[in-house]
Amino acid sequence: MPSYTDEGIVLRRIDYGDADRILTVLTRDHGKIGVIARSVRRPQSRLGPRTDLFTRSRMQLARGRGELDVLTQAEPVTVPTPQGARRVACAALCAELTDRVLEGHHPDAEIYELVGQALRDCADSNRDPRAAVVWFARRMIDRLGYAPQLYDCVGCGATLVEEPARFSAPGGGLLCPSCAPDDPASIECSVRAIKVLRAAASGDTDLWRRLRLDAPTLGTVDHVVEAELAFHLDRRLRSFDVLRAIEGGNGAALSLD
């Protein structure tokens, strides 16, 4: 079988058979691919650790006869990995969103680096991992073509003044106080939350990293992003439920595989 080498990040894994694993891998040069890693669940397998979630490796792969390529070798790329249930859950959310949004075999080096940076940010002990999730989700929502309206009311078109407003995921942006009753499920946003939403939408990485996000504001922005994803993807990401359970103290029994 012909083989090739590429750098990849494990987004998803499923145990298969007695000792194999099926992986969803985001690669730099070949996009999202399916991979089978044979016998990696055996205790003596040297490839086993290379198939862990979020692991970044330089992989040698052989073209398979079906849809899955075969992992034959892997050398780890040294990057920090998330530690602790909450950081792991945030990383899992980024990985699940990547898997949902990207089609297979469509390489995009910019997206590859974006995913890698999001996972590193989730592992950074100096940052709240939810901030990494918000930034990453904003970039992926924009990629889907659903940039929100944050300066004019999506109901009446009036320019928003500096006062609280409500965010409507179905409407695609902020509603002024007069239009807010049109969407009872809209999310209350303080003036500060609106400024943070605009900073996230700007795409300015340096600005985002300079922000000091208090817990209430980050919670609001996080809620907005979750509502947007649920609406645009037409389903709720499972990793949000895992994260909420962990934040509520009930995450010990939930699996991220």
Shared domain check, 101 and 170: yes
Domain boundary among the residues 76, 105, 121 is at 76
Cβ within 8 Å of residue 150, ≥6 positions away: 160, 173, 174, 194, 197, 198, 201
Shared domain check, 69 and 105: no
The single-letter DSSP state of residue 159 is B
Give me the pLDDT at residue 157, please.
Answer: 98
Q: Checking DSSP bridges between strand 3-16 and strand 56-62, what pairing results, if any?
A: antiparallel
Q: Checking DSSP bridges between strand 68-76 and strand 31-37, what pairing results, if any?
A: parallel
Determine, yes or no, domain membership for 252: no
Q: What are phi and psi of 217, to 5 degrees?
A: -65, -45
* Cα(34)–Cα(25) distance, integer angstroms: 6
Domain boundary among the residues 42, 57, 76 is at 76
Shared domain check, 133 and 66: no
Shared domain check, 93 and 208: yes
Domain boundary among the residues 13, 41, 76 is at 76
Give me the pLDDT at residue 1, please.
Answer: 64
Shared domain check, 97 and 10: no
Shared domain check, 90 and 14: no
CA torsion angle for 87, 89, 93, 95 (degrees, to 10)?
80
* Cα(84)–Cα(21) distance, integer angstroms: 24
pTM of the model: 0.90
Shared domain check, 91 and 70: no
H or E element in which residue 111 lies: helix 109-123
Give me the pLDDT at residue 93, please.
Answer: 97
CATH number assigned to the domain comprising residue 69: 2.40.50.140
Determine, yes or no, domain membership for 130: yes
Tens of pLDDT, residue by residue, the chain (257 residues):
689 999 999 999 999 999 999 999 999 999 999 999 999 999 999 999 999 999 999 999 999 888 999 999 999 998 888 999 999 999 999 999 999 999 999 999 999 999 999 999 999 999 999 999 999 999 999 988 999 999 999 999 999 999 999 999 999 999 999 999 999 999 999 999 999 999 999 999 999 999 999 999 999 999 999 999 999 998 889 999 999 899 886 443 334 44
* Cα(248)–Cα(218) distance, integer angstroms: 16
With beta carbons less than 8 A apart as the criterion, state whether 172 and 146 touch.
yes
Shared domain check, 67 and 8: yes
Shared domain check, 237 and 205: yes
Determine, yes or no, domain membership for 90: yes
Cα angle 241, 244, 250 (rounded to 5 degrees) comes to 100
> For residue 73, is it left (φ>0), alpha (ψ between -120 and 50) or beta?
beta
Domain that holds residue 103: 85-147+165-247
Determine, yes or no, domain membership for 65: yes
Give me the pLDDT at residue 220, please.
Answer: 96
